[in-house]
Structure 1
Amino acid sequence: MTQTKWIDISQPLTNDMAHFPGDTPFDYALTYTKEQTGSVNVGQITGSVHTGTHIDAPFHYDAGGRTVDQLDIDLYIGKAVVLDVSQTDRITAETLQPFDLNGISRVLLRTSLPNNPKRFPNQMPELDPSLAQFLHEHDVQLLGVDMPSVDPPESKDLAAHHALYDKDIFILENLMLDHVSPGRYELVALPLAINGADGSPVRAVLRPIDK
């Protein structure tokens, strides 16, 4: 029996990809070429830990919060549901009321924002902080979005970040979900074990769960 293939939902890391305004852009370059070393090519990367598809650790928005290396990796592996909320630009608890979240602790939102890794959006759908209480009541531990952030880029109070944090809900951002059908999946989106980091790029993948 052929096993269902994994679906990549992560942004490719490229030198022309968009980055958060004012943050460090991603760059990959060869430090040494095979011709120089006589044996191998050796590359280096620079860029923000919030480049492309990434997780936010609590330390990102709370100076006393846990860093990436202190997080439970089980958060980022397991059953997830992809919900299509593209019919609205303001996503509230009421938006999610019709969906069945029974037995699901990871929710991924496919919003109205088109997937375009090379363009930082001027406007994004709004996540109302009321989502946090609703998700908490349904035992959700991870919220993933196909946007650069769960808060507007200009936000200083980061209301959605903190509302989710207060309910022990962790954050996964910049997913690529335009090619993914709504439904239930296995998710793997492991952060790198970067000591003391406030975030980490991930390679996020989904595999459909047979009904």
Structure 2
Amino acid sequence: MPSPCDRKLWDISPPVGAHSPVFPGDTPYQQQWSATITPGCPVNVSAITLSPHVGAHADAPLHYDAAGAAIGAVALEPFLGRCRVIHAIGCGPLIEWRHLAHALTDLPPRVLVRTYAKAPVQWDAQLAAYAPDTIERLAGLGVQLVGIDTASIDPADSKTLESHQVIRRRGLRVLENLVLDEVPEGDYELIALPLRLVNADASPVRAVLRALD
């Protein structure tokens, strides 16, 4: 039996930098150097400014609920453990139940859905999102966390955020902006812990999948 250190890893986080796409109107990634290595300074130190929704990230209930918890207050368990990657490539604007039906037997408590054949490097206004009924039915099967390889589980132009509201009502957690291009369908161990940001509406994560025993 391979040890945890020997199991294959898939990095499912996009690179984060000045060219990372952001939701229109959101704060892009910016970096400035506060100190650089010189004869009088032994270190490089930078300062970064960014929305917590840049790159792979976990939404907090505060993001879609004025009375919701900040990301630093949420339990970590949903972001760590067995998950299933399901392909719904080219599914159209909404991930419907029929797109997932082939892979729902013995479902683990975390589901990540791949919609892109290749993740874009620019903002995609036509991103695929979850149909609210799909979230509702996954919750009914005991799913605690849903993830997606687009910037939102709701359509980019949505003002009602119906899928986010199902997440709120059913107490699920969500990961967005994953990169699943190289990940076959199947079950993995998910590791995608958010930072303990005490007042934030989201947190960047370094999301990885690890092969099971």
Q: Same fold (TM over 0.5)?
A: yes
Once the 2 structures are TM-superposed, how far is the Cα of residue 96 of structure 1 from its aligned partner? 2.0
Partner of 2:174: 171
| C-alpha contact 1:113 1:146 (8 A) present in aligned 2 | no
| C-alpha contact 2:84 2:107 (8 A) present in aligned 1 | no
2:57 is matched by which residue type in structure 1?
A: H
Once the 2 structures are TM-superposed, how far is the Cα of residue 183 of structure 1 from its aligned partner? 0.6
| C-alpha contact 2:32 2:48 (8 A) present in aligned 1 | yes
Once the 2 structures are TM-superposed, how far is the Cα of residue 186 of structure 1 from its aligned partner? 0.4
Bigger drift between 198-207 and 26-35 goes to: 26-35
Task: Tell me the number of residue pairs that the alignment of Structure 1 and Structure 2 aligns.
Answer: 209
Q: What is the aligned counterpart of 2:141 among 138, 143, 146?
A: 138
SS state of the match for residue 190, structure 1?
coil
* 1:94 aligns to 2:98 (yes or no): yes
**Cα distance in 2 for residues equivalent to 1:38 and 1:94:** 59
Partner of 1:30: 33
Once the 2 structures are TM-superposed, how far is the Cα of residue 112 of structure 1 from its aligned partner? 3.2
Once the 2 structures are TM-superposed, how far is the Cα of residue 167 of structure 1 from its aligned partner? 1.4
SS state of the match for residue 34, structure 1?
coil
* 1:46 aligns to 2:35 (yes or no): no
How much identity, in percent, do the aligned residues show? 38
> Any idea what the Cα deviations from partners look like across 1:122-146, whole Å, max 9, x if unmatched?
3112421001221112100000000
* 1:20 aligns to 2:23 (yes or no): yes
TM-score by length of 2: 0.92
**Cα distance in 2 for residues equivalent to 1:188 and 1:72:** 14
Please give the residue correspondences for 1:1-211 in structure 2 after superposition, counting only pairs within 5 Å: 3-35=6-38, 37-89=40-92, 90-112=94-116, 114-116=118-120, 118-210=121-213
**Cα distance in 2 for residues equivalent to 1:188 and 1:151:** 23
RMSD, matched Cα: 1.6
Which ranges of 4 or more aligned residues in structure 1 deviate by more than 6 Å?
Answer: none
| C-alpha contact 2:57 2:176 (8 A) present in aligned 1 | yes
**Cα distance in 2 for residues equivalent to 1:13 and 1:205:** 15
